[in-house]
Amino acid sequence: MLRTLLFLSLTAIASAAEISFSRQIAPILIDQCVECHRSGKAKGSYRLDTIELMFKAGDSETAPLVAGKPDASELYRLIATHEGDDRMPKKADALPEKDMQLIREWIADGAKLDVADKKAALRAIVSEQEKARAPEKYPRPLPVTALALNPAGSTLACSGYFETTLWETSTGKLQARIDGMPERILALAWVTENQLAVAGGVPGRSGEVWWVNPLQPKERRRLVSARDCVLAMVASPDGKLLACGGADNQVRCFELPSGKLKWQIEPHADWIMGMAFSPDSQHIATASRDRTAKRIDAAKGEIEATFTGHDCTVLSVASTPDSKETLSGDVEGNIRRWDRNGDATKDGSLRPGGRTEMLALSFLDAGTPMAAMGSGAVVSMDAKARKTKDKITRYDDRVNVLLLQRIDNTARIITGCHDGRVRINELGKAEPVLQFVASPGW
């Protein structure tokens, strides 16, 4: 009996001490190694961005991982060596001793994997491990960073913390909470009643796009697992394409409803801050921190035009109703109008609100663009006269999101603000017809 108890105790201690690949090893590799050994940037032809590829040799043809033998494992040798020319990561500090020792022990113990899917991306594994549950009640209003209307216009999807919340547009009542989503949700696109795309991630750590059925939230799948946050996402008006971009400088385009990747390009040298489809679904406009805006062929993923008329970060874009021209707004309050060749138009400069960020752009009609600003104002503009036409509303905090909804002959302006409130205004009325704090329990 004593021998049995001793055996069970030793087994329990060994089990408790077993190193977890997903919780302990993968985060080290992501922070220190994946950026230089990933798709599109595999130094030495060695990739670490998926489990399957992690075990395959690069140009050295030496096994990167030999179970039970850390000294015969090229991956460990290169991070542990004192030879400056060989040591990984290159041009950076050596890994902390505790991290090197942890990797050594993991290999010595058999390089065991606690992940079923060997094709899984390391970032996807870690992001799932790190996900927390959304709070039952929010301790304070969470800034609204993304909104999307369902096709019927009856339900509004809103950003949350590790969740997406659904609200009735007629009453402002909470309908549902979809958990298991990215920590920060920065873009939403509602394509059909049972197809909602959710994008976001953790800044500097990971980016995600999820495809969810709001009617059956357990029906979901991940479309994107990126090395940094997905900041912008749009669906084509014809419902056939979904495009996203973010802090990894990549634009990805997916076919709908299959979710199959159609193309992927890196059109900018810095973060992609905003995106818009043209009304004819043929072109995608992008805004970037590299001070440019671009127009991309949606079918081919080819850059059609680059606009270089901004002197600072470009935050937002919108296509004109005829799909021929593009508006782009920047962090210093400028809006530029340019054509399909990337050339500024004759009446192509607007400054509707002083030196404040142009956070979102849209159109009321062919000649009336709208802007939501960091000052809290939402205005419409007379494009030809190049001046503000109407101050639609003014709040005390940043307006992060701007949606336009038409019901019969009435235009409704839906805004999501940094103070956590969603407001619905009818054009011509000074006060919102509906407003609510989109943080459950507040």
The whole-number pLDDT of residue 131 equals: 67
Is residue 218 scored above 60 in pLDDT? yes
User: Would you state the structure tokens that stand for residue 251, as one six-digit string?
Assistant: 């634009």
The whole-number pLDDT of residue 84 equals: 67
d(CA 170, CA 414) in angstroms, rounded, equals 12
Is residue 57 scored above 60 in pLDDT? yes
Is residue 163 scored above 80 in pLDDT? yes
The whole-number pLDDT of residue 3 equals: 46
Q: Which residue has the higher pLDDT, 347 or 232?
A: 232
**308-334 mean pLDDT:** 96
For the ranges 19-33, 91-105, 291-305, the maximum mean pLDDT occurs at 291-305
Q: Which residue has the higher pLDDT, 262 or 81?
A: 262
Least confident of 2-6, 92-96, 290-294: 2-6
The per-residue DSSP string of 279-327 comes to TTSSEEEEEETTS-EEEEETTTTEEEEEE---SS-EEEEEE-TTSS-EE
Q: Which residue has the higher pLDDT, 277 or 83?
A: 277
The whole-number pLDDT of residue 195 equals: 96
**171-199 mean pLDDT:** 96
Q: By C-alpha distance, which of 372, 363, 381, 211 is closest to 279?
A: 363
Per-residue model confidence as pLDDT tens digits over 382-440: 877 777 888 888 898 999 999 999 988 889 999 999 999 999 999 888 889 999 999 99
Where are the chain's structural domains? 2-130, 147-437
Per-residue model confidence as pLDDT tens digits over 226-264: 888 999 999 999 999 999 999 999 999 999 999 999 999
Percent of the chain with pLDDT over 90: 58
Per-residue model confidence as pLDDT tens digits over 113-131: 888 777 777 777 766 666 6
Is residue 55 scored above 70 in pLDDT? yes
For 425, other C-beta atoms within 10 Å of its C-beta total: 20
Is residue 295 scored above 60 in pLDDT? yes
Is residue 8 scored above 60 in pLDDT? no
Q: What is the model's pTM? A: 0.79
Q: What is the mean pLDDT of the chain?
A: 89
Query: Looking at the domain that runs over 147-437, which CATH code has it been given?
Result: 2.130.10.10
The whole-number pLDDT of residue 270 equals: 97
Question: Which band of pLDDT confidence, cut at 50, 70 and 90, is reported for residue 343?
Answer: very high
Q: Which residue has the higher pLDDT, 27 or 170?
A: 170
The whole-number pLDDT of residue 393 equals: 87
Exposure string (b/e) for 142-181, b if CB count within 10 Å is 16 or more? bbbbbbbbbeeeebbbbbbbbbbbbbebeebebeeebebb
The whole-number pLDDT of residue 12 equals: 41
**143-155 mean pLDDT:** 97
Per-residue model confidence as pLDDT tens digits over 15-41: 446 888 877 888 788 777 877 887 777
Question: Which band of pLDDT confidence, cut at 50, 70 and 90, is reported for residue 7?
Answer: very low
- 8-state DSSP, 71: G
Q: Rounded to whole angstroms, what are the CA distances from 301 to 119, 224, 252, 261, 291?
A: 26, 17, 9, 11, 21
**74-79 mean pLDDT:** 87
d(CA 85, CA 94) in angstroms, rounded, equals 12
The whole-number pLDDT of residue 359 equals: 97
Q: Which residue has the higher pLDDT, 64 or 163?
A: 163
The whole-number pLDDT of residue 17 equals: 63
Q: By C-alpha distance, which of 293, 317, 315 is closest to 305?
A: 293
Least confident of 32-36, 56-60, 190-194: 32-36
**338-349 mean pLDDT:** 88
Is residue 169 scored above 80 in pLDDT? yes
**50-69 mean pLDDT:** 87
Question: If you search the block for the tokens 């076919």, which residue do you land on?
Answer: 255
The whole-number pLDDT of residue 157 equals: 98
